[in-house]
Amino acid sequence: MIPAEKKYAEWMGLALDEARRALATDDVPIGAVVIGPDGAVLGSGRNQREALGDPTAHAEVVAIRQAADRLRGLSAEDGSPHDGWRLAECTLVVTLEPCAMCAGAVVLARIPRVVFGAWDEKAGAAGSVFDVLRERRLNHWVEVYAGVREAECGALLREFFAGHRTQP
């Protein structure tokens, strides 16, 4: 059995690949993957707010939507009952701490575990500014594993914003 920390680091590599793809559309380089209970990628996403002109096109939301669509498709193929929007037993891996909108989507999708890289001291909702994922007044609580490949995730964001601040 692979230790959780090693799996999380490998999965974060997939999220970082997605984050780098966001650079092609000048979106903030944040990437996410939803991993199923068997370790397979069910959904992947990157920020696409600029590309799609959609303020809700955050990496986490894109990945969650894709995972739910895939689960619905899989259950249709084998005839098994599955309520595709419930992502129970899945793990969301994202390069930056989820914001309030994305944390709310995680709770509503019933994702039990979030792994993230860099903290977001301005808008994070997994412990830095808010803690939506572990809010006891909600109907679902999430395990949070923070700081996975944090330096690499943070460097990608810092480089992106440094490049944008020097442009006229």
- Cα gap 146→8, rounded to integer Å: 10
Q: Check: CB of residue 19 under 8 Å from CB of residue 46.
A: yes
- Cα gap 92→109, rounded to integer Å: 11
Active site residues: 60
Which residues lie closer than 8 Å to 102 by C-beta, 6 or more apart?
58, 60, 61, 94, 125
Half-sphere exposure of 37 (CA within 13 A, CB side): 7
Q: How many helices (H) and strands (E) does the chain have?
A: 5, 5
